[in-house]
Amino acid sequence: MHVHYISFLSASVLLCASIPSAASPDAAINVIFPSSPPASSAVNVVYDNFLGISFELSSFNTLWGENTSTVPPAILNYLHNIRSRLGDSSPLRIRVGGNSMDESVYTPKQTQMLTFPDPNAPSNNIPTNFGPLLWDVMTAVSTMVGGITYLVGLSMREDMASWGEGNVVDTAVAARKALGTALDGFLLGNEPDFYSGHGNNPGYNISLYINDVGTILDGLRNSPSGNLIQSPLIGGPTVCCGWDLKNVITSGLDGYNYKYYSMQHYPTHICGGENPTNTNMSYFLSHSNLDAFVSWNQEGIKLAKASGIPMLLTEYNSVACGGSNISDTFAITLWAVDVALKHAASNFSSVYLHTREYGVRYNLFDPPSAPPDPSNLNVSSTPISLKPGWRTGSPYYAELVLAETLSRSGSVVVDLNLNNSETNPAASVAAYGIYDSGGSTRGKLVLFNFADTDSKLNQTFRVPGGLKSIVETRLLLASAVDARTGITWAGQTVGEVGDLQGDQVTVNTDCWNGCAIQIPGPGLAVVWVGDDTMWTGNSTLPDFAVNGDCRAGDAHYAPVVLAVVIAGLLAILC
Ligand SMILES: *[C@@H]1O[C@H](CO)[C@@H](O)[C@H](O)[C@H]1NC(C)=O
Ligand SMILES: *[C@@H]1O[C@H](CO)[C@@H](O)[C@H](O)[C@H]1NC(C)=O
Ligand SMILES: *[C@@H]1O[C@H](CO)[C@@H](O)[C@H](O)[C@H]1NC(C)=O
Ligand SMILES: *[C@@H]1O[C@H](CO)[C@@H](O)[C@H](O)[C@H]1NC(C)=O
Ligand SMILES: *[C@@H]1O[C@H](CO)[C@@H](O)[C@H](O)[C@H]1NC(C)=O
Ligand SMILES: *[C@@H]1O[C@H](CO)[C@@H](O)[C@H](O)[C@H]1NC(C)=O
Ligand SMILES: *[C@@H]1O[C@H](CO)[C@@H](O)[C@H](O)[C@H]1NC(C)=O
Ligand SMILES: *[C@@H]1O[C@H](CO)[C@@H](O)[C@H](O)[C@H]1NC(C)=O
Ligand SMILES: *[C@@H]1O[C@H](CO)[C@@H](O)[C@H](O)[C@H]1NC(C)=O
């Protein structure tokens, strides 16, 4: 221990003596955690379900099964792991939508959950027709994992001739009836700023859009089931690229009583192939790039905040159009956590990591293999999806970290600008302060070490004293920034059926007089310095549901049975 460290910690050095001394080449970094958040941050209180998952509709059958009897055990574990970490009143946030939903038709008489009318569709835009089984599966899975709140896409690309009376209204009526209180809202249209450029609707502009939205809302107000939007239920504009959010809002969206404003954002894309920008891992490891990333649409976001309308990032991930070779690395796990916290600190109410069909490199999870006939997606993938052997993508781990870090009591998130990391590209560290109980009390520190040290050199972070006598730490680790497997959160890694393997590890450190927390590079630590509940337990569903053994003999176990099992009556059933 060097001299500076000893003088800073004075009496506490002995108490912290069980922590090995820093082997880091960098000096220890002082973390300053002010007793209350700045007023400009205190206005944005977020909850433990802040980080949701966005599913592209066209991949939904390969991930969630095709009816309520064939929901893959793996997806149940993946979702249950997250839901278990949330408070009772914080359902898991799921969005079902994307380009494929915007190009889709609801067909009430269709007996399959999804069908794919165009075998030659491009992978970034697969038209998908869906039947009522979609709502049944969504409802059943919500019950099975303990509560989900859904955002559902409403198409603005189909049905144009009969807007206000046709399929959009039918879809909304059916979804609202079937999902009930599990329906969070509808996202009307997907990336309308691309309708012109992608040739869906040449010449489309904001004023035409505002007018069309008005027509559809009239239809939803006068539906066969009455006024569907008596209470606000619609979100939008879900812009991604071309239109300025503030401009869309002030051009007329602000007159429509929206429940949410929404946008989607990726830092780069691979639509035209691999290039030095979309394979640049350094970009994702530099916290200083996030200020620019989060500043897109800042004026519109401020306007949303001022109007009291929650702002959602309904899709994000590393590289749009399917990811690059960096999208499945540990660098992206760290980045996905960093992005989520940065948006929580920047007036967003929720953000959703996006996941798609098999083989997309930024996915949170993939079934064991590709659909049996990629040229005919109507052919069932269920036999494959029911098997073990799922791949967990590196972004998935961000879900576990956020669910544990943000509080059910409401958190205010502040970028502590550690080592000037908000602007300094040379900083290899970053830190957030999490204020819990609605922002009134210091709850946790999230500490990042982006350094890629083969020898696992530690960076020492000095945590201030006077917060808690013994602080608890959990680590997010992997062997290197380009590691694609072997990622662990609190000592656990995700196995082949979405199950968390290994014992949950929490390190206790005496800290009343301050303490040193060591984080290997690369790595991240969440340090509990307040009174918020720390989640402990085993979120893996019981064996029979996850290992497939019972499936072999009984492919038709009822969802209600599984729900009962989750409620705790484990042993008797299998
Ligand atoms: C559910 O889907 C499976 C696999 O496609 C099928 O065998 C089974 O009959 C379906 N169950 C119901 C109730 O439709
Ligand atoms: C898939 O099913 C849809 C709806 O029944 C049908 O229109 C389409 O032609 C089918 N695709 C193939 C490749 O058979
Ligand atoms: C949008 O397009 C319509 C139809 O071409 C045109 O009349 C209108 O002026 C355009 N609005 C703006 C703001 O460009
Ligand atoms: C890669 O990212 C780093 C860090 O942000 C940046 O300095 C560099 O210019 C980027 N290189 C390319 C080719 O985009
Ligand atoms: C990704 O591909 C680029 C270009 O081929 C290569 O330079 C880079 O090392 C690769 N990165 C990883 C993590 O595989
Ligand atoms: C969040 O909104 C508040 C209140 O409108 C504002 O003062 C603050 O600057 C906003 N924060 C960011 C990061 O834009
Ligand atoms: C902190 O910033 C200084 C100045 O840019 C830089 O030299 C140093 O490497 C940084 N240390 C860490 C751990 O980020
Ligand atoms: C580095 O940090 C880890 C995690 O805090 C700790 O287990 C390990 O002992 C430290 N290594 C050294 C050499 O201090
Ligand atoms: C967690 O629960 C699952 C299902 O009951 C079980 O298979 C697994 O061994 C448990 N894990 C631990 C670490 O106890």
**Predicted pLDDT of residue 573:** 33
What distance in Å separates the CA atoms of residue 80 and residue 76, rounded to the nearest whole number? 6
pLDDT tens-digit map of 6-33: 233 333 333 333 344 444 455 899 999 9
Q: Which residues form the domain of 310?
A: 51-405
Residue 85 has what pLDDT?
A: 98
Long-range contact set of residues 564-573: C-beta below 8 Å, sequence gap at least 24? 565/541, 566/80, 566/144, 566/145, 566/146, 566/541, 570/542, 573/544
114 and 215 in a single domain? The answer is yes
CA 424 to ligand 7 center in whole angstroms = 8
pLDDT at 547: 43
One domain for residues 253 and 299:
yes
Q: Classify residue 472: in a domain, yes or no.
A: yes
* Domain edge (last residue) among 373, 405, 437: 405
From 99-103, 227-231, 262-266, the region with the lowest mean pLDDT: 99-103
In this predicted structure, what is the pLDDT of residue 558?
A: 37
Q: Are both 144 and 159 inside the same structural domain?
A: yes
**pLDDT tens digits, residue range 328-365?**
999 999 999 999 999 999 999 999 999 999 999 999 99
Closest CA to 101 of 185, 213, 200, 190: 190
Q: Is residue 559 part of a domain?
A: yes
In this prediction, residue 506 carries a pLDDT of 98
| Domain co-membership, 125 together with 217 | yes
Is the pLDDT at 536 greater than 70, yes or no?
Answer: yes
Residue 534 belongs to a domain = no
Whether residue 216 contacts residue 166, with contact meaning beta carbons closer than 8 Å, is answered with: no
Check if 288 has its Cβ closer than 6 Å to any atom of ligand 7. Answer: no
pLDDT band at 542 (very low <50, low <70, confident <90, very high): confident
144 domain-assigned: yes
Helix (H) or strand (E) holding 149: strand 148-154
| Residues 154 and 171 occupy one common structural domain | yes
| Cα 421 to middle of ligand 7, angstroms | 9
Residue 124 lies in a domain: yes
Ligand nearest to the CA of 61: 1
395 shares a domain with 374? yes
Query: How many helices (H) does the chain have, and how many strands (E)?
Result: 19, 26
Place of tokens 């340090």: 527
Residue 521 clears pLDDT 70, i.e. is over it: yes
Rounded average pLDDT over 455-472 = 95
Average pLDDT for 543-548: 50
3-state secondary structure of 368: coil
| Domain boundary pick from 364, 384, 405 | 405
Distance of CA 408 to the CA centre of its chain: 17
pLDDT of residue 545: 53
Q: What is the DSSP string of 349-363?
A: SEEEEEE-STT-TT-
DSSP state of 507: E
Strand, helix or coil for residue 208: helix
**Strand, helix or coil at 331?**
helix
10 Å Cβ neighbour count for 128? Answer: 26
Place of tokens 């192939």: 273
DSSP β-bridge partners for residue 471: 509
Is the peptide bond between 383 and the residue preceding it cis, with omega within 30 degrees of 0? no
| Contact indicator for 110, 423 with CB cutoff of 8 Å | no
- Which SS3 state, helix, strand or coil, does residue 147 take? coil
pLDDT of residue 302 exceeding 50:
yes
Residue nearest to atom 7 of ligand 5 (CA): 279
Residues having CB within 6 Å of any atom of ligand 6: 40, 43-44, 298, 302, 305-306, 346-347
Verify that 466 and 392 share a domain, yes or no: no
Looking up residue 39, the CATH number of its domain turns out to be 2.60.40.1180
User: How far, in Å, CA of 315 to CA of 279, rounded?
Assistant: 20
Are residues 328 and 347 both part of a single domain?
yes
Calculate Rg over the CA atoms of the chain: 24
Q: Average pLDDT, stretch 259-283?
A: 98
Whether the pLDDT of residue 228 is over 60: the answer is yes
* 235 and 346 together in one domain: yes
One-letter identity of residue 395:
P
Q: Domain for residue 72, yes or no?
A: yes
424 burial type by CB count under 10 A (0-12 exposed, 13-18 middle, 19+ buried): middle
pLDDT at 251: 98
Q: What percent of the chain has pLDDT over 70?
A: 89
Q: For residue 250, give the CATH number of its domain.
A: 3.20.20.80
Residue 365 lies in a domain: yes
Same domain as 244, residue 97: yes
Residue 294 lies in a domain: yes
Burial class (CB within 10 angstroms; exposed 0-12, middle 13-18, buried 19+) of 151:
buried
Does ligand 5 have an atom closer than 6 angstroms to the CB of 279? yes
The residue whose CA has the least distance to atom 5 of ligand 3 is 203
The string of pLDDT tens digits covering residues 71-98 is 999 999 999 999 999 999 999 999 999 9
398 and 423 part of one domain: no
Task: Report whether pLDDT(234) > 90.
Answer: yes
The count of domains in the chain is 3
Instruction: Find the range with the poorest average confidence among 159-173, 376-390, 400-414.
Output: 159-173
- What are the tokens at 514? 């301050």
Q: Is the pLDDT of residue 557 over 50?
A: no
200 and 238 belong to one structural domain: yes
Per-residue H/E/C for 441-501: EEEEEEEEECCCCCCCCEEEEEECCCCCCEEEEEEEECCCCCCCCCCEECCEEECCCCCEE
Question: Do the Cβ atoms of 448 and 287 come closer than 8 Å?
Answer: yes
Residue nearest atom 6 of ligand 4, based on CA coordinates: 283
**431: closest CA among 315, 525, 320, 331?**
525
The mean of the pLDDT values for the chain is 90
When comparing pLDDT for 153 and 164, which is higher?
Answer: 153
